[in-house]
Amino acid sequence: MDETQIIEHLKNGDEFIYKYVYDKYVRIIFNVCYKMAGSKEEAEDASQEVFIKVFNSIDSFRADSKLSTWIYRIAVNVCINFQRRKKIVKFLSFDFWEEEKDSPVENSTPLKSLEKLEIQNTVQRALNRLPAKQKTALILSRYEEKSYKEIAEIMGTSLPAVESLIFRAKENLAKKLSLLKNN
């Protein structure tokens, strides 16, 4: 089935298409959400939200972009909103302050070779501390291997803006990771 057919079935609300779209895009969506959210539980919630948005707002899809680009855009927006909500909840429940103290760097020794899982967690936690847009651009570029042009399309911004976001994201991330050595 090609994209136009999928879109048509979605617009008609044909029920069989939901499973088809799910199977086709679930890996992409789940992985983006996982990277953005940093936990599997949240990635599950976010993914469901993304699919429901895709199914319900297909009428607002304009054929000026690819369906997958549009789906990425929805995923990114849902995850940014989730993150924003989480931050507010965290702040209100004072978890925010605890988490800040518990930085990824403290309990690691710099010269000891790091375990794979530890590396994963450290990078993920550093990622989680980036501003939402920087994080999004970096994830799409590094983990989804999207070109800057595609990222600009997904994020609804310009090419130079994406370049600058990724540049700053890498600077910020290096700063957060290099705290390791200082402590």
Partner 1 sequence: MKHKKIRRKFILYLDGDLPETEKGKIEKHLSVCESCRNALKVIKELWDGEEKFQVLPPESLWYKLKDRLEEKRIDRILGLRLNKKKILKTAAAMVIVIISVLTGSRLGNALNPSFENENNIFLKNNITRDDFGINYFDILPPNSIAEDVFIFASNTEVNKK
Q: Which residues touch 31 (CB under 8 Å, ≥6 apart)?
A: 143, 144
Using CB under 8 A as the binding criterion, the count of chain residues that bind partner 1 stands at: 39
Q: Is the CB of 53 or the CB of 90 nearer to partner 1?
A: 53
* Count of residues making up the chain: 183
Q: Are 110 and 64 in contact (CB under 8 A)?
A: no
Q: Is the CB of 18 or the CB of 61 nearer to partner 1?
A: 18
Q: How far apart are CA 89 and CA 101, in angstroms?
A: 18
83 binds partner 1 (CB under 8 A): no
Q: Are 65 and 168 in contact (CB under 8 A)?
A: no
Q: In the complex, what is the shortest distance from the CB of residue 172 to partner 1, in angstroms, rounded to a whole number?
A: 8
137 binds partner 1 (CB under 8 A): no
End-to-end CA distance of the chain: 55
92 binds partner 1 (CB under 8 A): no
Q: Are 36 and 135 in contact (CB under 8 A)?
A: yes
Q: In the complex, what is the shortest distance from the CB of residue 131 to partner 1, in angstroms, rounded to a whole number?
A: 15
Please select the residue that binds partner 1; options are 53, 55, 80, 161, rule is CB under 8 A: 55
Please select the residue that binds partner 1; options are 47, 128, 134, 136, rule is CB under 8 A: 47
Amino acid at 145: E
Q: Is 41 exposed, middle or buried (0-12, 13-18, 19+ CB in 10 A)?
A: exposed
123 binds partner 1 (CB under 8 A): yes
The stretch near partner 1 (CB under 8 A) out of 3-11, 72-80, 87-95, 112-120 is 112-120
Q: In the complex, what is the shortest distance from the CB of residue 64 to partner 1, in angstroms, rounded to a whole number?
A: 27
Helix segments in the chain, DSSP class H: 3-12, 16-37, 40-56, 67-92, 95-101, 116-128, 132-142, 148-155, 159-182
Q: Which residues bind partner 1 (CB under 8 A)?
A: 18-19, 22, 26-27, 30-31, 34, 40, 43-44, 47-48, 51-52, 55-56, 110-111, 113-114, 116, 119-120, 122-123, 142-143, 167, 170-175, 177-178, 180-181
